[in-house]
Structure 1
Amino acid sequence: MTRWLTIIGIGEDGYSGLGQNARDALACAGTVFGGKRHLEMLPAGLTAKRAAWPVPFSDTYEQLLALRGQPVAALASGDPMHFGVGATLTRYIALDEMRIIPAPSSFSLAAAALGWPMQETQLLSVHGRPVQTLFKAFSPAAKLLILSNDGDTPAQVARMLRESGYDRAQLTVLEHLGGALERRTAGTADCWDHPRCADLNVLAVDCNKANPPAQVHSTLAGLTDDAFEHDGQLTKRHVRAVTLAHLAPLPGELLWDVGAGCGSIGIEWMRAHNSCRTLAIEASERRQELILRNSLVLGVPDLQLVRGEAPAALQGLAEPDAVFVGGGVTDAGVMDACWESLKPGGRLVANAVTIQSEMALVTWRASYGGELTKLLVSQAQPLGGFDTWRSALPVTIYAARKPV
């Protein structure tokens, strides 16, 4: 099919900053979609019908497809494929039906303004996303470029940095990059008192390795137990690290954390990669609240909580790539429901502490295969004027991969 849709990146310099190929596409278009601000940048001489993005944005797809085959242009900020509308539209319209003409992204302009090499900088967005996702990105020496949601984002991030111990982190707000209203505001997290800035801004954060906080959370599996708020129902650190190694999270994969407790396994699964997803299934209302609080503080607010008891609560959920059964191994139907729902090639991992739950896993292995590992962890603790080894309860870890 003819490439009827052209997605055009446009900057703060507006129409004057567009190349000839973008101008030609606009001149030929019968309809131009875009935000109100972008449409107002177009010259009066363009004859195309101007259509502002509808609310909700999902209505766009039907409107665009109704014009299929006719010349249509769509305006997007900067690079349409970097946290932009182009990345969204490619899910609904085939690539051979469209052309994408990018402009320099806000990140490119910000990196140039600050002299930060982009390959050494994390590029993040909280535009339409929970700002708490940034907690996971805070680490000593980290440099972050953040596409803000609005003019309040810098103050929110400054507060989050203080809460995380990064009082001396340096913040720079870059407003209206590349345009006549471009402005820069800088300060540190501990004394950020600047007024609300323009909604269109990129926030740069230098976490400042010279002043690391008392506690730093790695994205590798095995956070300290005190990183989680819990009531004792917690997969302990060393067992958790081995369990996650068996679960083996990969980008874009979905985990069922069945009997999630305080959510530690599902949270660490999501911390492994920004696109990892978790459904945490938990029956206890008290623990449900712990899961929600832990997911916010540890930077994975997109974790989805399923309130209910397995196996009934598992009905109708999206098929998982991996399942962890931390509670309910001996409950009738739980293991069967998890195995049946698991995608071919997916991983099932279950932990047992009691003799009865271990026997259930031994019986399950006899029918479905897999491997069993017994983990015994001892830690040095004082005994009088000396030290001795104190052993935690041994944990049996079952791991199996469903045949393809």
Structure 2
Amino acid sequence: MSDTPWLTIVGLGEDGPEGLAPASARALAEADLVMGAARHLALLPDLAAECQTWPVPFADGIAPLLDQRGRRVVVLASGDPFWFGAGAVLARHLAPGEWRAFPAPSCFSLAAARLGWPLETLRCHGLHAAPLSRLRPDLAAGLRLLVTLRDGAAVGDLAAYVTALGFGESTLTVMEALGGPRERITSHRAETLSGSFAHPVLVALDITGAGETIPCASGREDTLFESDGQITKRPVRALTLSALAPRPHELLWDIGGGSGSVALEWLMAHPTTQAISIEPRADRAARIGRNAAALGQDRLQVVTGSAPEALDGLAMPEAVFVGGGLSAALLESLFARLPAGTRIVANAVTLESEALLAAAQAERGGDLLRIALSEAVPLGSKRGWRSAYPVVQWRVTT
């Protein structure tokens, strides 16, 4: 084997060996063992190598694969293994130099080529094992999406989901077995879609309709979030997100989650951000989970419990928001446990919590901001200003 890695990841199209690059074909010819889904193995001609079907769920195949070190092994994957594929999962378990990969054209590339759509302008989603709600932030008239699904039946689920959100006029181009002899491409209106479809399947969506679009800026409408009234209202939420200043790959602790609106807007800021919402009431914690699912932010982690006790064992954050449960004990705990450079934002409404933040700012520094908002409301036959309770916001870095 000399310097050749023991593992080769080969991207396979629906045309099987016909579309293989010479390096991929050579790796298969020289392999001692070929592992892959039954569908992929069925596309190959007879091989000298032992063939082994990859188990379901996918994670169950990792340990048996690693036990094959010392043999020449090929793992088959669909198209480009590093675009919503198995490549990145396998690479996490291997050291540099242990593996190599030979990709084939991805189904996204093939779909764009069939439609004449510029790939760099599209939103691509792999929903084999993810909920359809992942699409929610991208449902806006004029956007085009490419979506892979778990099976043919999921095409009907996708059409129903899009229609229920007010985008039933959207065009769904269903692409079955792209690149192979079974390839079939049909176009449908989401609200009238019918028929059956075969796996593997990709759907191209040209979004049309009057459904509600989620804005890109923070401070989304309160009505987007299910709430019992315990919610950081839209203008204050926008100022709070500005103070928290989310950056890619950062983790937020949202203490006293309420409806989860701050944590969810943090997640909407960038696809790599993470958030943990800590909420003492079980009913509100369940509501936060529902809001996360509805808004396509299912990566939100919800912890039912009271801070600071519920913070034990959590991954360290880059930012913390205290929207409820503010106390001197909580602040002391945060400063004792958080690493230097962590951003803390705390909002207070009552006189007691205001006094607490004023004392904390005098001791530890940071910025203190008083937010006083009013809205125009009917006043007899005319209009007047109705003031909301002022909010005091403390922003500090540990």
For the 8 Å contact 2:9–2:76, the answer to whether it is kept is yes
Counterpart of 1:356 in structure 2: which amino acid? Answer: E
Which amino acid in the other structure matches residue 281 of structure 1? I
Q: Say yes or no: does 1:355 pair with 2:351.
A: yes
TM-score with structure 2 setting the length: 0.94
Matched residue of 1:333: which SS?
A: helix
Identify the residue that residue 40 of structure 1 maps to in structure 2.
42
* Shift of residue 340, structure 1, vs aligned partner: 4.1
Q: Which amino acid aligns with 1:365?
A: Q
**In the alignment, which of 17, 20, 23 is matched to residue 18 of structure 1?**
20
Instruction: Indicate the SS of the match to 2:266.
Output: helix
**Which residue in 2 is equivalent to 1:281?**
278
Alpha-carbon distance between aligned partners in 1 of 2:257 and 2:51, rounded to the nearest angstrom: 50
Aligned match of 1:374: 370
Supply the RMSD in Å over aligned alpha carbons. Answer: 1.8
Q: For 1:256-335, what aligned pairs fall within 5 Å after superposition?
A: 256-330=253-327, 333-335=329-331
Does the alignment pair 1:29 with 2:25?
no
- Greater mean deviation of Cα atoms: 290-299 or 65-74: 65-74
Per-residue displacement from partner, 1:68-98 (whole Å, max 9, x unpaired)? 3432211110000101111111212133322
Local SS of the residue matching 1:281? strand
Deviation at 1:226, TM superposition (A): 1.4
Normalising by structure 1, we get a TM-score of 0.93
Q: 1:196 to 1:337 in 2, by over 3 A?
A: farther
Q: How does 1:93-242 map to 2 (within 5 A)?
A: 93-192=94-193, 194-208=194-208, 211-213=209-211, 215-242=212-239
Corresponding letter in the other structure for 1:198: A
- 8 A contact 2:159–2:190 mirrored in 1: yes
Q: 1:173 to 1:353 in 2, by over 3 A?
A: same
**1:57 equivalent in alignment to 2:55:** no
8 Å Cα contact 2:246/2:269 also seen in 1: yes
In the aligned structure 2, how far is the partner of 1:177 from the partner of 1:343?
50
The CA deviation at 1:283 is: 1.5
Correspondence for 2:385: 389
The alpha carbon displacement at 1:302 in A equals: 2.8
Distance 1:70-1:346 versus aligned 2 partners, 3 A rule: farther
Contact 1:135–1:160 (CA under 8 A) maintained in structure 2 = no
Paired with 1:100 and 1:107, the residues of 2 have a C-alpha distance of 18
Q: Is the 8 A contact 1:136 1:298 kept in 2?
A: yes
Local SS of the residue matching 1:387: strand
Q: Which is further off, 122-131 or 156-165? A: 156-165
C-alpha separation in 2, matches of 1:125 and 1:342: 36
- In structure 2, the gaps of 5 or more residues are none
Q: Matched residue of 1:178: which SS?
A: coil
Alpha-carbon deviations, 1:327-373, whole Å to 9, x = none? Answer: 0112x532333344445433211111111112222222334332221
Alpha-carbon distance between aligned partners in 1 of 2:70 and 2:331, rounded to the nearest angstrom? 51
Q: Contact between 1:7 and 1:101, CA under 8 Å: does it hold in 2?
A: yes
Shift of the alpha carbon at 1:216? Answer: 2.1
Change in CA separation of 1:238 and 1:127 when aligned onto 2, cut-off 3 Å: same
Q: Retained in 1: the 8 A contact 2:254–2:275?
A: yes
Residue 199 of structure 1 aligns with an amino acid whose one-letter code is H
Inter-CA distance 100–220: structure 2 relative to 1 (3 Å threshold) = same
For residues 21 and 241 of structure 2, the distance between their equivalents in structure 1, rounded to whole angstroms, comes to 49
Question: What does the per-residue CA deviation read over 1:212-258, in whole Å, with 9 as the maximum and x for residues that have no partner?
Answer: 33x32113211111111211111000110111112122223222111
Measure the CA separation in 1 of the matches of 2:202 and 2:335.
45
Q: Distance in 2 between matches of 1:340 and 1:163?
A: 48
Structure 1 residue runs without a partner (length 5+): none
Q: How far apart, in 2, do the equivalents of 1:322 and 1:20 lie? A: 50
Q: Whole-Å Cα distance in 2 between the matches of residues 347 and 388 of structure 1?
A: 38
Amino acid at match of 1:291: I
Match of 1:79 in 2: 80
- Superposition deviation, residue 197 in structure 1: 1.6
Q: How many residues were matched structurally?
A: 396
For structure 1, which segment, 131-140 or 104-113, has the greater mean C-alpha deviation from structure 2 after superposition? Answer: 131-140
Distance 2:167 2:121 in 1: 19
Q: Give identity over the alignment, percent.
A: 44
CA apart distance, 1:163: 2.1
Counterpart amino acid of 2:356? A
CA contact (8 A) 2:137 2:213 kept: no
Q: CA deviation at 1:35?
A: 1.0
Are the counterparts in 1 of residues 132 and 161 from structure 2 also a CA contact under 8 Å? no
Distance apart, 1:103 and its partner CA: 0.5
**Secondary structure of 1:8 counterpart:** strand
The question of whether the paired residues in 2 share the 8 Å contact of 1:170 and 1:205 is answered with yes
